[in-house]
Structure 1
Amino acid sequence: MTVTDNGPETLSARALWYDGRGGVELREELLARPDPREPLVRTLFSGVSRGTERLVCGGRVPESEWRRMRAPRQEGEFPGPVKYGYAAVGRVEAGPPDLTGRMVFCLNPHQDAFSAPASTLHPLPAGLPPRRAVLAANMETALNAVWDSGAGPCDRAVVVGGGPVGLLTAALLSRLPGVEVTVVDVDERRRALAESLGAGFAEPGDAPRDADVVFHASATAAGLATALAAAGEEATVVEMSWHGVDDVAVPLGRAFHARRLKLVSSQVGQVAPSRRPRWSTRRRLGAALALLAADNRYDLLLDTEILFDDAPSALPDALAPGAQGLAVVLRYP
């Protein structure tokens, strides 16, 4: 056990910190012994958000977004060093009897043990393996984007960018009756995975045209251009990528105005306007967990696993531009 008892008032744990210059370190810290009513969680897995945490690791969060990009229970300040992360899954080792022993998801930085208010913990639904549950934040993002798009039965949908969020979005769209969805990506190796999740696949040069709704999740200017080109007359293009400090060229010439396209941003920080009067973020996260429990094909997205002890040496390579693989999961001792 990495949490050690240091006396009657404190426990020690290890947390992952990004230095803001591309480096990663593990720091030992003291935890105040939680109130008996506050759960103590032993982390089993945590998910790394490759796009966001690549920017955090390199100190590339724009100053204008420092407040909005703070993760729950983050320590330190941007550009770094910061203790970051928001997809932890673990077992409650102490606290309220109704939670003790249960597997839970929590928006918490990468840390091998932590205490958190019971209201921030989400018990895993029956049948959801703890490792798969680290995709909950990604699934929330995908669900919110589908709501933002207004996609409906029998639509023709295109998802540009076959990373974890793009593939989860395609998987949700494929469940809508009659929807034809195509994932567009430069990596032919994503074809089998897209098809296994119920979507078609195309490389950018062969991307469909005249789509009813398009989702852009590649975080590249070329991908956004492909997304706009795939949209049909008066279609909606949902921009899901976050580019950090980078400015991205948007091709608004040619037929963009003549086709009356709609370019809509989607961001998971708030529930989509169409659901906001009735849905809380807690209800949305519960729905994301339930969706993950319903389909074991989502395990295929977790193709890069790093031991927590090895994170300082292995995680920077996994976050480097052009690194192979999809979703990164940290496994704790």
Structure 2
Amino acid sequence: MTDGPGAARAYWSTEPGAGELRDETLRAPRPGEARVRALHSGISRGTELLVRRGDVPISQRERMRAPFQEGDFPFPVKYGYLSVGVVEDGPADLMGRRVFCLHPHQDRFVVAASMLTPLPDAVPSRRAVLTGTVETALNALWDAPPCAGDRIAVVGGGLVGGAVALLLRRFPLARLQIVDPDAARRRQLAEAGLDAVAPEDAVGDCDIVFHASASESGLALALGLLGDEAELVEMSWFGAREPRVPLGEDFHSRRLRITASQVSRIGAARRARRDSADRLATALELLADPAFDTLLAADIAFDEIDDAFAALEDGRIGPGCVVVTYPGAP
């Protein structure tokens, strides 16, 4: 292990719609810890834009804390949880290995070695920033496990919805559609082998519908696509918004169900047999599939991260995960 502190830079959200890179002092790793040099990190646009706007509800601030968050909501706060790097100091079995960590956007950091998950050789570092997204999608399938022959729709073709659909395409389903109003996004999803359709072309009488559009119209459509006694899995987080949910007309007579899915707890079907480490490792194994590259959006340099957040707010970056690349990354 090296002696003495080092230097690092991290991204902080400082006020609504603004942030900055800050210099930080990095201490040497203690026994059982490791120092990681970041290669890439991913911007989880839904959650991180809510954080950057200061829209995390007071009631949810403790639940929303990221594992290595510094500062408190609303501001200033160092937030993020999709970091991929290489261990440059620490336990011998991790030295030089690529790892995933639930760490904010920072070029070097020191954490407990137990918080690092080594990447399988088959998973490229850039794609590995999707680990948290695929873990969220996997958890939803544990909340509402599909059965052979099911008819399933995913409403919302963004990052989370796309990941759910890419996992579902492995199942022997009777029908799988992913529904999104954006034609360009549908073409991208179709290139990954998915049946991507416009809302007006979605087929109903579904056994399960996964909703990930974070919109009232998407939620209404998702409920409308359900067959009798079928289940909607709600994956959108609306933050401080209060969406209208159409529970009138035949919602009760058709005995429809709405299940909330959130990655903070293991999906109900596997809660007794899997823990968070198992789920994370499974997500990384699933990422060996190159089709997940369709969920990656623009690449930006770490020095330009605040500009990237502004571009996301303005809609200048299309759907998918923005990949932040750090100096020295191959």
State the TM-score, normalized to the length of structure 2: 0.96
Q: What is residue 302 of structure 2 aligned with on the other side?
A: 308
Separation in 1, partners of 2:130, 2:218: 23
1:169-208 deviation per Cα after TM superposition (whole angstroms, max 9, x unaligned): 0111111113421011110112222223332122112221
Q: 1:78 aligns with which of 73, 78, 92?
A: 73
1:131 maps to 126
The answer on 1:150 being equivalent to 2:145 is yes
* Contact map agreement 2:9 2:21 (CA 8 A) in 1: yes
- The answer for the alignment partner of 2:45 in structure 1 is 50
| Equivalent residue for 2:311, pick from 282, 306, 317 | 317
| 8 Å Cα contact 1:213/1:237 also seen in 2 | yes
Structure-to-structure mapping, 1:155-234, within 5 angstroms: 155-234=150-229
SS, match of residue 157 in structure 1:
strand
Q: Does structure 2 conserve the Cα–Cα contact (< 8 Å) formed by 1:162 and 1:218?
A: yes
User: Matches of 1:136 and 1:220 in 2, distance apart?
Assistant: 24
Structure 1 residue 36, shift from structure 2 partner: 4.8
Distance 2:127 2:317 in 1: 21
Over 3 Å off, 4+ runs: 319-323
2-structure distance, mates of 1:246, 1:223: 15
Q: Return the match for 2:243 from 237, 248, 251.
A: 248
The separation in 2 between residues aligned to 1:114 and 1:82, in whole angstroms, is 16
- The 1-side partners of 2:108 and 2:191 are apart by 35
Is the counterpart of residue 285 in structure 1 residue 276 in structure 2? Answer: no
1:116 counterpart SS class = strand
Match of 1:3 in 2: none
1:93 to 88, 94, 97: 88
Alignment of 1:259-274 (within 5 A): 259-274=254-269
Gaps of 5+ in 2: none
Report the alpha carbon displacement of residue 149 of structure 1 after superposing the two structures with TM: 1.6
The residue type equivalent to 2:291 in the other structure is R
- Provide the C-alpha distance between the structure 2 equivalents of 1:320 and 1:60, rounded to a whole number of angstroms: 17
Instruction: For 2:254 and 2:146, locate their aligned partners in 1 and report how far apart those are by CA, in whole Å.
Output: 19
Classify 1:20/1:238 alpha carbon distance in 2 versus 1 (closer, same or farther; 3 Å).
farther
2:154–2:165 Cα contact (<8 Å) kept: yes
Q: Find the aligned partners of 1:8 and 1:216 in 2 and give their Cα distance.
A: 50
Corresponding residue for 1:329?
Answer: 323
RMSD (Å), alpha carbons: 1.4
Alignment of 1:111-122 (within 5 A): 111-122=106-117
Partner of 1:297 in structure 2?
Answer: 291
Task: Provide the secondary structure at the position in 1 that maps to 2:269.
Answer: coil
Q: SS at 2:6's partner residue?
A: strand
The 1:55/1:27 distance shift into structure 2, 3 A limit, reads same
Choose which of 98, 107, 112 in structure 1 pairs with 2:102: 107
Residues 121-164 of structure 1: per-residue CA shift (max 9 Å, x gap): 00001211000000000000101111112211110100000001
User: Partners of 2:44 and 2:204 in 1: how far apart?
Assistant: 30
Residue type matched to 2:190 in 1? Answer: E
C-alpha separation in 1, matches of 2:269 and 2:3:
50
Identity %: 50
Deviation at 1:225, TM superposition (A): 0.3
Q: Does 1:258 align with 2:253?
A: yes
Q: Secondary structure at the match of 2:33?
A: coil
Q: Does the 8 Å contact 1:20/1:82 carry over to 2? A: no
After superposing the two structures, state which structure 1 stretch, 209-218 or 24-33, moved more: 24-33
Could you tell me how far 1:35 is from its partner in structure 2? 1.4
Distance 1:104 1:236 in 2: 36
Q: Determine helix, strand or coil for the equivalent of 2:100.
A: strand
Task: Tell me how far 1:325 sits from its aligned partner.
Answer: 2.9
Structure 1: state its 5+ residue gaps: 1-6
Partner of 1:30: 25
1-side partners of 2:138 and 2:324: how far apart? 24
1:20–1:78 CA contact under 8 A, matched in 2: no
Distance 1:86 1:175 in 2: 27
- Residue identity opposite 2:303 in structure 1: D
Residue type at the aligned position of 2:245: V
Amino acid across the alignment from 1:277? A
Aligned counterpart for 1:63 among listed residues 58, 63, 66: 58
Paired residue for 1:19, among 14, 22, 34?
14
Contact preservation (8 Å) 1:20, 1:56: no
Q: In the aligned structure 1, how far is the partner of 2:172 from the partner of 2:193?
A: 12
